[in-house]
Structure 1
Amino acid sequence: MPLVRIDLVSGKSSEYRTALADEVYKAMTGTMNVPENDRFMVINEHKDYNLVADPAYLGIQRTRDVVFVQITLNAGRTVEVKKAFYAQLANKLAERINLRKEDLFISLVEVPKENWSFGNGVAQYA
C-alpha cells in the first residue's frame, strides 16, 4: 500500500541508495504494520542545486546531504505509530550509512484506501 519516494543529491553509491530503501522498508514493516512484500519505491538523485532544504528551519542544522523521504499510504495510523516510524528510520540510517538525523526529512501523505490500483485497472482495496 505505501508508495515511497526518496530524493537525494546525486553521487551516492548504489549501496547507499539500497540501504536507504532497505531501512525505509524495514521501518514501515516494523512500526506501521505494512505487509511483507508491499515494497514500491522510487529513488531520485538530483544535482545539489535542485534540492532545497533550509539549513536551519526549526533550529535543525541541515547539510547538503539531506534526504527527502515521502510516503503515500493509507490513512489511519496514530501519532504514536508515526513517531515510532520516524525515530526508527532516523536511528537505523544513522547506524547503517552515517546519515545525520538532522539530514532526514520525512513526509507522510495519507490517502483513502480506494485511491490505489496495484494493477489490472482494479481498485483492490475499494
Structure 2
Amino acid sequence: MPVIQIEMGNKWKIETAILVKNVVLDEVREVFGLKSTDRNIKVIRYDQDLFELKDPYEIFIEIKLAGSRTVEFKRKLYDALTTAIDEKTMFKKDNVFIFLNEQPAENWGIKGGIPASDIEEPV
C-alpha cells in the first residue's frame, strides 16, 4: 500500500479535509487495485502563515510507494485523483499538486523490520 500524505491550509474546515482524504483514498485504492482495508494516509492542516503553495494550488498530495510505475499508470492516477476531487469536493483540478515519491522496495522496513524487497506481496 502506498503511503499518502495530504497537506492543506487550516482555512478549510475539518470536514473538508476529511472529505478530501476519503476521496483520495478511494481513488488510490481503485487505481492500485487495493483492498478496502489497505490504508496509510494522513492529512496535515497548517496554519495559513505556515503553508504556501504557488497559485492556483491549494492541496498538496504526496504518494510514497515502493518500486516504480509506468508513465501510463501515473497519468491514470493523476487523472483519477484530480477528476474525483473536482467532482466530489469544492476544489478544482487545477488546485491539486501531486507528487509521487518512488523508492526501491529495500528502503521500506515492514512487518517487524523486514525489507519490503524480501516479501512477496506488493507494498
Q: Could you tell me the percent identity over the aligned residues? A: 24
Q: Which residue of 2 aligns with 1:51?
A: 51
Q: Which residue of 2 aligns with 1:30?
A: 30
Q: Which residue of 1 aligns with 2:42?
A: 42
In 2: Cα distance, 1:10 partner to 1:119 partner: 34
Q: 1:114 aligns with which of 100, 103, 106?
A: 106
Query: How far off its partner does 1:119 sit?
Result: 4.3
Number of matched residues?
117
Q: Which residue of 1 aligns with 2:13?
A: 13
Deviation sequence 1:39-72 (CA, Å, 0-9, x none): 11121111223222222xxxxxx06xx0000011
DSSP 3-state at the match of 1:107: strand
Give unpaired runs (5+ residues) of structure 2.
119-123
Amino acid at match of 1:23: V
Query: How far off its partner does 1:124 sit?
Result: 4.3
Amino acid at match of 2:45: E
Q: Which residue of 2 aligns with 1:69?
A: 61
DSSP 3-state at the match of 1:106: strand
Query: How far off its partner does 1:102 sit?
Result: 1.2
Matched, 1:3 2:3: yes
**TM-score normalised by length of structure 1:** 0.81
Cα RMSD for the two superposed structures: 1.7
Larger mean Cα displacement after TM superposition, 111-120 or 42-51: 111-120
Query: How far off its partner does 1:106 sit?
Result: 0.3
Q: Which residue of 2 aligns with 1:99?
A: 91
Q: Which residue of 1 aligns with 2:121?
A: none
In 1: Cα distance, 2:17 partner to 2:111 partner: 26
